Amino acid sequence: MPEFLPPWPLLGAFVLASLALAVTPGPAVVYIVTRTLAQGWRAGLASVAAVALGNLGNAAGAALGLAVLFSVSALAFTVVKYAGAAYLIWLGIRTLRAAPAVATDTPPPARPLRQVLRDGFVVALLNPKTAIFFAAFLPQFMNPAGSALAQSLALGVGFVLIAATTDVCYVTAAAAVMPALRRAGRARAAGRYLTAAAFIGLGVFTAASGSRAGK
């Protein structure tokens, strides 16, 4: 396996976890779907691209920070993994306790595609929770014997691509079946439980495996 990728078992777990988190409806999915319902598939795809670019910036920032931290101390890798595991479990508990999103039949006002791109990019890039998520999520699948910067960058780009792919599927579905997706409150409620289970399960797995996960 190349230095910039973790071993196959960790890489497979990363893909599965990323799919589970990306496919369940969250704030970004709700924004993309409602923008599609308001202005059509072009605006939906523009929103997907904007959110992906903003998330990519956060992933790159998290990767650089992790690389610097791990170069200072080998112990930092284990500390970050345990801290990340605790944070993921907390995210799952908070997701379970959060009130379900209220579905609305009122779409957002139409905006020019340039403004859709700008707004989606700025909102995603300046969301500090996204950078914190990447800093907690990526180390769970990194091999401490490999390059921290290369692995975190590769995994960050991989997660963004997976999320963008699932978002495009949501845009396609929203454009095809607008009435059904406007009544997607039940899907968002189910997604809340799936997301919480993914966060908690990943955090427990990491805490149990500790620093041996990549060896």
- Tell me what pLDDT residue 169 has: 94
| Segment of 23-37, 79-93, 163-177, 188-202 carrying the highest mean pLDDT | 163-177
Condensed to tens digits (0 to 9), the pLDDT of residues 55-91 reads 999 899 888 888 777 776 667 667 777 776 787 688 6
Condensed to tens digits (0 to 9), the pLDDT of residues 126-150 reads 766 777 888 888 888 888 878 888 8
Instruction: State the helix-helix crossing angle for 27-39 and 41-72, rounded to 10 degrees.
Output: 160
| Segment of 36-40, 188-192, 196-200 carrying the highest mean pLDDT | 36-40
- Tell me what pLDDT residue 39 has: 82
Local confidence band at 213 (pLDDT 50, 70, 90 cut-offs): very low
- Tell me what pLDDT residue 167 has: 93
Residue at 52: amino acid letter: A
Place of tokens 């095809």: 176
Local confidence band at 164 (pLDDT 50, 70, 90 cut-offs): very high
Is this structure's pTM higher than 0.85?
no
Place of tokens 């975190």: 152
CA of residue 132 relative to chain centroid, distance:
11
Average pLDDT across the chain, whole number = 77
Asked whether the beta carbons of 135 and 84 are under 8 A apart, the reply is yes
Find the range with the poorest average confidence among 20-29, 30-39, 116-125, 201-210.
201-210
Provide DSSP, the chain: --TTS--HHHHHHHHHHHHHHHHS--HHHHHHHHHHHHH-HHHHHHHHHHHHHHHHHHHHHHHHHHHHHHHH-SHHHHHHHHHHHHHHHHHHHHHHHSPPPPP-S-PPPP--HHHHHHHHHHHHHT-HHHHHHHHHHGGGG--TTS-HHHHHHHHHHHHHHHHHHHHHHHHHHHHH-HHHHTTTHHHHHHHHHHHHHHHHHHHHHHHHHGGGGG-
Cα(52)–Cα(32) distance, integer angstroms: 11
Report which of residues 147 and 181 the model is more confident about.
147
What value does the mean pLDDT take over residues 151-174? 92
Local confidence band at 209 (pLDDT 50, 70, 90 cut-offs): low
